[in-house]
Structure 1
Amino acid sequence: MSGSAAVGEAGPLLARYRGLICDLDGVVYRGASAVPHAVETLNEAAERGLSVVFATNNASRPPGDVADHLRELGLAGTGWSVVTSSQAAAAYLAERLAPRALVCAVGGPGVAHALAEAGLTPVRVADLAGAPVEAVVQGLGHDITWRELAAVGYLAEAGAAWVATNIDRTLPTPYGKAPGNGALVALVQTATSASPHVVGKPKAALFDLARARLGTAPPDTLVCGDLLGTDIEGANAAGLDSLFVLSGSSRLRDLAFAPRRSRPTYVAADVSGLLVPALPLDSASAERLDGLGPDGVPDLPSGGDSGRLLQAVIAGAWAARADGRPISDDARLWERIEQQLGVAGPQ
């Protein structure tokens, strides 16, 4: 292990920031259940003065419903709020349309709620009847019909502004992956020459909205998420530091091979990494495991702090790739390292 601790490492990671933009699914909860350590950590972070905005690509539920779920899980206090990609879509249109402009709302209740909240007039497909809508917002909903998807295409082809809350191709469920909003957007795109304006992660709009809610400058804001291609890539697009956690979908192997645009500032097993010191991964001061075993993955020393070893594994993998040294992409070998470090993901 080479490198030395940076001067800024002393003290918990959260002490370096005034605001946190935190993802939900895979970071705070998985379905109806809390991720281990998440609620306790976030409650302690709030007690230490860290302001938190939970930012989610899931457009189906109004923020109040999401907040109720968080309270049911044990999240305390009032120093936090929720923003959704539906709100980002509504904010985008509110800046461009006249007050009370008619906007077709396709998706769950969160879409129409956000449009009304922004001073626009949501209209469902069933109530269009030739109404002169100026835009259509497409978000996820569990009861979306073929008729609604067809209407999105008709309106977009006719010149209405088409805004997609997000383009996540899949959605995690207790039964496995299901089609996400991105899959439905892609379906509409097969029948139209139009393209949607996307506001959700990894675009910067949702992060900008969340940071405005926090009232923090970019250097004082940290993003925490479990998906490299949305949370972390979006944080980089918005010019924000990020903490990647291994409690959700993206895995250690994904992080080792992540392109630069999807690399986080820090890594931890879960959101409790906010409460311990951490070094920036891609820095000269980062500790790293330089030795690669015969199987092409970093050799872990026996013993040692698992959090520091996790940081060192990734810093070493990135250094090896930068030097042109081959590392294994065998998922089973990287899963073995996860098990050794005690950071195996959801089963």
Structure 2
Amino acid sequence: MSDETAVLPGRADPLIASYRGLICDLDGVVYRGATAVPHAVETVTRLTADRVPVVFATNNASRPPEHVGDHLRALGLAPGGWSVITSSQAAAAHLAQRLTRGARVYAVGGPGVAQALTEAGLTPVRVAELDDAPVEAVVQGLGADVTWTELAAVGRIVDGGACWVATNLDRTLPTPYGRAPGNGALVALVQTATNAEPHVVGKPQAALFDLARSRLGSEPDATLVCGDLLHTDIAGANAAGLDSLFVLSGSSRLRDLAMAERPLRPTYVAADLGGLLEPGLPVLASPAADLLELGPDGVPRLPPTAGPGAENNAVLQAVVATAWAARDAGRTVSGDVGPWKDIERRLGLARPS
């Protein structure tokens, strides 16, 4: 963005005003299945109207970006100012820099894998097309129809010396029916038959973040990552040297955040994407005067007036800052789920069951 179109930070300006581009996760942040997360569509619409570019970055390698875009538009997100990148595209970009144009690559996973390879100038080869002509690399991503035959071929080809790229190592993925095995589970299955290790490009590795940032055109210190998973979104942002906003609209809960070790701690916290439009202070920069008392049960004591409302995010930040300060000082912070759920309920953060 140019200086003329950037949102300039001010004393009471929204958190996003300090940044020139946003890398945003999808599931649990923008939508949960077919349903939009509260405030997500409105917030992204506001950002793009203010010329803050948004790249949605997903570890899901199975769907082509345009299919993800169709999903977002169906939720009410207007076109323009945003785009989608997938871990399949990161894998294809990685190989395109190392192989000659047109090189044959064995593609395992949904249609997004083969499409990304084609768009990168490589030749995707499916299991039925494997013949005596060698393939130079393998890209393994998730797909609902991946078979034993396909996975067995990965091990055979990799043992023959081909480069092995995994789109991501997520062991599970959410479905409307609960958690299901993710690409990491299938990669682990292949690893039982080979001594090779794949090169991983998805979160929490830097490749997907680097690709997203190249599309945004923003420097690291002007790029913000937003996600709901500590071990992928936040760990990856920290590894890539990017600030991050953790939102409680997904599967990770307040207890997970409070107990997070330093490599998994975000810069900011909020209930949902709407926190981007509110004033934000880095959690670790919270003044000591803003910390809460740690109760005998090992959880921060909320002020009597705490509850859902305009000050929700400020109290949430104080809770997290108190827990981190206590842990770093060697004090015992409760890992019991119950007290943290009580805090969520008081602050109006509890997810409907």
Q: Do the structures match in fold with TM over 0.5?
A: yes
Deviation at 1:343, TM superposition (A): 1.1
Task: Give percent identity, aligned residues only.
Answer: 71
Q: Which moved more, 1:157-166 or 1:301-310?
A: 301-310
Q: Which moved more, 1:82-91 or 1:253-262?
A: 253-262
Over residues 56-90 of structure 1, what are the superposed CA-to-partner deviations in whole Å (9 max), with x where a residue is unaligned?
00000000110111111111131110000000000
* Cα separation, 2, equivalents of 1:291 and 1:81: 43
* Cα separation, 2, equivalents of 1:9 and 1:90: 43
* Cα separation, 2, equivalents of 1:36 and 1:204: 29
Deviation at 1:342, TM superposition (A): 1.0
Report what 1:103 is aligned to.
Answer: 105
* Cα separation, 1, equivalents of 2:144 and 2:289: 46
Deviation at 1:290, TM superposition (A): 3.2
2:176 matches 1:170: no
* Cα separation, 1, equivalents of 2:257 and 2:150: 38
| Residue type at the aligned position of 1:164 | A
Report what 1:3 is aligned to.
Answer: none
Deviation at 1:289, TM superposition (A): 3.0
Which of residues 295, 314, 322 in structure 2 aligns to 1:316? 322
Over residues 266-318 of structure 1, what are the superposed CA-to-partner deviations in whole Å (9 max), with x where a residue is unaligned?
00000000010111001254764331122111000122411100000000101
Report what 1:4 is aligned to.
Answer: none
Report what 1:295 is aligned to.
Answer: 297
Over residues 2-46 of structure 1, what are the superposed CA-to-partner deviations in whole Å (9 max), with x where a residue is unaligned?
xxxxx9662101111110000000000111111111111110111
* Cα separation, 1, equivalents of 2:109 and 2:340: 38
2:329 matches 1:327: no
| Residue type at the aligned position of 2:93 | A
* Cα separation, 2, equivalents of 1:291 and 1:218: 35
Over residues 176-213 of structure 1, what are the superposed CA-to-partner deviations in whole Å (9 max), with x where a residue is unaligned?
00000000001110111111000000000000000000
1:286–1:312 Cα contact (<8 Å) kept = no
Closer/same/farther in 2, CA of residues 132 and 58 from structure 1, 3 Å limit: same
Q: Residue 168 of structure 2: SS of its match in structure 1? A: coil
Report what 2:344 is aligned to.
Answer: 338
Closer/same/farther in 2, CA of residues 178 and 147 from structure 1, 3 Å limit: same
2:190 matches 1:188: yes
Report what 1:282 is aligned to.
Answer: 284
Closer/same/farther in 2, CA of residues 233 and 209 from structure 1, 3 Å limit: same
Q: Which moved more, 1:332-341 or 1:164-173?
A: 332-341
Deviation at 1:155, TM superposition (A): 0.7
Report what 2:16 is aligned to.
Answer: 14
Normalising by the residue count of structure 1, what TM-score does the alignment of the two structures yield?
0.96
Which of residues 85, 88, 91 in structure 1 aligns to 2:90? 88
Deviation at 1:324, TM superposition (A): 1.2
2:108–2:141 Cα contact (<8 Å) kept = yes
* Cα separation, 2, equivalents of 1:166 and 1:9: 40
1:288–1:313 Cα contact (<8 Å) kept = no
* Cα separation, 2, equivalents of 1:202 and 1:278: 24
Which of residues 281, 293, 306 in structure 1 aligns to 2:312? 306
Q: Which moved more, 1:9-18 or 1:204-213?
A: 9-18
Closer/same/farther in 2, CA of residues 287 and 126 from structure 1, 3 Å limit: farther
* Cα separation, 2, equivalents of 1:130 and 1:142: 27
2:161 matches 1:159: yes
Deviation at 1:332, TM superposition (A): 1.2
Over residues 202-237 of structure 1, what are the superposed CA-to-partner deviations in whole Å (9 max), with x where a residue is unaligned?
000000000000000011100000000000000011
Q: Residue 143 of structure 1: SS of its match in structure 2? A: coil
Closer/same/farther in 2, CA of residues 317 and 9 from structure 1, 3 Å limit: farther
Q: Residue 122 of structure 1: SS of its match in structure 2? A: strand
* Cα separation, 2, equivalents of 1:31 and 1:124: 29
2:254 matches 1:252: yes
Q: Which has the higher contact order (CA 8 A, sep 6+)?
A: 1
| Residue type at the aligned position of 1:102 | R
Report what 2:6 is aligned to.
Answer: none
Any stretches of 5+ residues in structure 2 without a counterpart? Answer: 1-8
1:288–1:311 Cα contact (<8 Å) kept = no
| Residue type at the aligned position of 1:181 | N
Closer/same/farther in 2, CA of residues 213 and 287 from structure 1, 3 Å limit: farther
Closer/same/farther in 2, CA of residues 346 and 182 from structure 1, 3 Å limit: farther
* Cα separation, 2, equivalents of 1:53 and 1:288: 34
| Residue type at the aligned position of 1:273 | G
1:289–1:299 Cα contact (<8 Å) kept = no
| Residue type at the aligned position of 1:79 | G
Which of residues 35, 45, 55 in structure 2 aligns to 1:33? 35
* Cα separation, 2, equivalents of 1:287 and 1:163: 49
Which of residues 14, 23, 26 in structure 2 aligns to 1:24? 26
Structure 1 stretches of 4+ moved >2 Å: 284-290
2:225–2:237 Cα contact (<8 Å) kept = yes
Count of aligned pairs between the two proteins: 341
Over residues 235-288 of structure 1, what are the superposed CA-to-partner deviations in whole Å (9 max), with x where a residue is unaligned?
011110000000001111111111111110000000000010111001254764
Normalising by the residue count of structure 2, what TM-score does the alignment of the two structures yield?
0.94
* Cα separation, 2, equivalents of 1:287 and 1:321: 18
